[in-house]
Chains A and B, each alone.
Chain A
């Protein structure tokens, strides 16, 4: 069955520190992969996407993600975290069918 897994439920980092959020996928073929961010009480905002090609993708707000086929991973990174990055982050996969399968989400807390 298709699935997306985010191993870390909660992560705390200090402001200015680097960030990496993990995401693993299980699909028959390489899916389209996405990272979304959700602030409390809000909808989801698309940070970045991977369809094919270059395995390092750049997104908004200074985020990037690297697709690694050998590890079935699509980890999200940011070199320097800002307090405003505190939110919940979701990794999602799709077979381009209009159906996204989401991971459980990772809540990011930023310490001053």
Chain B
């Protein structure tokens, strides 16, 4: 079975721009969770989607949003980028929210 894939792997954006990251879960998995990893804050939960509905949300501003499609693929969007949004963004999939399998991440750099 193919693992979780994330595109793009690396991204450089300028402050004020917006960005969209994509995640394809393991086949058959219906839950997709997103995490932000930074040296200062560690791994923080952004949100989780299950069957196209946001089921959980972390403590991030409204500039961070996401969605899930009928094939379980998910995207997250960050609008009005700030320097502090530079991070590794990790996507994880699971069948219904239990053990999660992670993708390789998207490294976002905001300049």
Contact = CB atoms under 8 A, between A and B. Distances in A.
Q: Is the A/B pair a real complex?
A: yes
Interface of A: 32, 34, 36, 41-46, 49, 51, 90, 92, 94, 96-105
A72 B65 CA distance: 34
Interface in B17-62: 31, 33, 35, 42-45, 48, 50, 55-56, 58
Nearest to A32: B98
Contacts of A96: 97-98
Interface residues of B, number: 27
Contacts of A94: 97-98, 100
Interface string B55-87: 110100000000000000000000000000000
A41 B105 CA distance: 8
Nearest to A104: B42
A44 B105 CA distance: 9
A46 B98 contact: no
B105 A98 contact: no
B contact patch SS = strand
Given A43-B103, A46-B99, A99-B33, 8 more contacts: A36-B102, A41-B107, A46-B100, A46-B102, A90-B43, A99-B56, A100-B33, A102-B44
Interface of B: 4, 31, 33, 35, 42-45, 48, 50, 55-56, 58, 90, 92, 94, 96-105, 107
A90 B56 CA distance: 21
Contacts of B100: 34, 46, 94, 98, 100
A87 to B, nearest CB: 14
Given A43-B104, A46-B99, A98 B56 contact: yes
